[in-house]
Amino acid sequence: MFPMGFVLALALMVGCNQTSSESSTSVGGSEPSVDSEEKVEITYWYAWGDKIGENNENLVKMFNESQDRIHVTAEYQGSYDDLHAKTQAAFAAGNAPEVTQNEIASVGIFANSGMTENLTPFVEKNNVDMNDFIPGLMGNSYVNDQLYALPYLRSTPILYLNKTILEEVGLDPAGPKNWEEFREYAQTLTTDGERVGMTLPVNIWMYEALVAQSGGQMLSDDGSEVAFNSEAGVAPVQFWKEMEEEGILKMPTGDEAGDVARQDFANGRSAMAFSSTADLSFWLAMAEEQGFELTTAFMPANSTYGVPTGGANLVMTAGLDPAKQEAAWEFIHWMTSTEQTIYASSYTGYLPSRMSAVNSDEMQALYEELPQFKVAVDQLEYARPRPMADAYPEIAKIISDEITRVIIQDDITAEEAIDVAAERANPLLK
């Protein structure tokens, strides 16, 4: 059962402990140099609604109540793509928010274009313990060896399982360990016209995961050319196509594909789903409402386990006056400190980004009560950062389009589609 009492207790704990916590002051324990007679007003933009939006609004309210020098206004902006487009437009118009989220693959684009502030001087000046951040989540924080972002709401994809259905058909609810077992699970779970093993929209993040599981990578180490045009890059598309043709994997396309996958899982028309750990709290509540038991597992391995990290980091926009810059830094540090990390992870299912949060009594108690939350933390052993080349968002769309062609057209092979994607993508990296 979803522990709302636990979450409320955490909220109370966070609100009450600010005066004794590192997060109650600017980093290093000193007050920021802002005018104590007049509050500094800053704006924070965030993506996504539901539990994720509630988490952002709740934390901003706690921050505002924890001190009387800074007031933050939180504003919802839609998806990551919406948020990024609006931030770029606002920066060009001279009215960007002081703090915003960057989806991790976009950290480099914003930094290299001069839209975000280098945080390295703030970290060095205030002796921030960067070793407390989980190393597997730091790969998308640095640009040209300088820190431009701190991990905030971070995730990996995980395997969601309808434990009730699995047990009804005699499958181990621990889930499939590898691709072969995954296919066997899907075959057993599929019933003519009623249920498929999994509904899976074409999704670049999931493709990145299966490439990693096959021992490959998306770009070369120096980012100068693509690396997915390999056996490891073809294998996921071929695997999906074969399962889709067999009728044990449903792959909807188009703008509503994600909603279709979520609805199929909620209604028992599929019994497995790949999705972000960020969905965990929402899906636990949904499973309870729908009357089935939800469990989670690693994404199955091919030659190895492997997942990309995802989610958002917090960044400060460039060009702020000193007072707003100081206020923005204090807010970013507060939001990424241990107590707030515990709250956000417990409320949403996002990964805790600090070791001190993972090892805290609060998180350990949650993992004991709901082991579904711990799966993504354990899976971090096999996690890798997302590519941050400026052209990668465009490349990701090219790959997704080519995978879609394979799914909807019978005359295109996986190898042909991946070769076409590589031919289109490579010039963008030069």
Which pLDDT tens digit goes with each residue over 335-372?
999 999 999 999 998 999 999 999 999 999 999 999 99
- Model confidence at 29, pLDDT cuts 50, 70, 90, reads very low
Flag whether pLDDT at 232 surpasses 50: yes
Question: What is the CATH superfamily name and number for domain 4-155+309-383?
Answer: Periplasmic binding protein-like II (3.40.190.10)
Residue 7: pLDDT over 70: no
Give per-residue pLDDT as tens, 192-226.
889 999 999 999 999 999 999 999 999 999 999 99
Q: What are phi and psi of 200, to 5 degrees?
A: -135, 110
Task: Report whether 63 contacts 72 (CB < 8 A).
Answer: yes
Averaged pLDDT, 250-264: 93
- The dihedrals phi and psi of 222, each to the nearest 5 degrees, come to -90, 0
pLDDT at 126: 86
Label each residue of the chain as H, E or C.
Answer: CCCHHHHHHHHHHHHHCHHHCHHHCCCCCCCCCCCCCCCEEEEEEECCCHHHHHHHHHHHHHHHHHCCCEEEEEEECCCHHHHHHHHHHHHHHCCCCCEEEEEHHHHHHHHHCCCECCCHHHHHHCCCCHHHECHHHCCCCEECCEECCEEEEEECEEEEEEHHHHHHCCCCCCCCCEHHHHHHHHHHHCECCCEEEEECCCCHHHHHHHHHHCCCCCECCCCCCECCCCHHHHHHHHHHHHHHHHCCEECCCCCCHHHHHHHHHHCCCEEEEEEEHHHHHHHHHHHHHHCCCEEEECCCECCCCCEECEEEEEEEECCCCHHHHHHHHHHHHHHCCHHHHHHHHHHHCCECCEHHHHCCHHHHHHHHHCHHHHHHHHHHHHEECCCCCCCHHHHHHHHHHHHHHHHHCCCCCHHHHHHHHHHHHHHHHC
Each residue's pLDDT tens digit, 370-410: 999 999 999 999 999 999 999 999 999 999 999 999 999 99
Rounded Cα gap, residues 303 and 413, in angstroms:
22
149 pLDDT higher than 90: yes
Residue 91 has pLDDT above 60, yes or no: yes
Query: What is the per-residue pLDDT for 309?
Result: 95
At 272 the pLDDT is 98
Lowest mean pLDDT among 13-27, 211-225, 273-287: 13-27
Q: Which of 294, 307, 179 is nearest to 248 (CA)?
A: 179
CATH of the domain spanning 157-308+391-429: 3.40.190.10
Whether the predicted pLDDT of 20 surpasses 90:
no
Task: Find where tokens 């980004």 sit.
Answer: 353
Q: Which residues of the chain does CATH 3.40.190.10 include? A: 4-155+309-383, 157-308+391-429
* Confidence (pLDDT) at 289: 96
Q: In what order do the strands lie in the sheet with 294-297?
A: 249-250, 196-199, 270-276, 157-162, 294-297
Q: Which residue has the higher pLDDT, 278 or 232?
A: 232
Rounded to an integer, the average pLDDT of 255-270 is 95
Comparing CA positions, the residue from 207, 383, 177 lying closest to residue 299 is 177
Give the pLDDT band of residue 127 (cuts 50, 70, 90): confident
What are the tens digits of pLDDT across the range 292-320?
Answer: 999 999 999 999 999 999 999 999 999 99
In 385-419, which positions are buried (b, 16+ CB within 10 angstroms) versus exposed (e)?
bbbbbebbbebbebbbebbbbbbeeeebebeebbe
Distance, CA of 252 to CA of 230 (rounded, Å) = 25
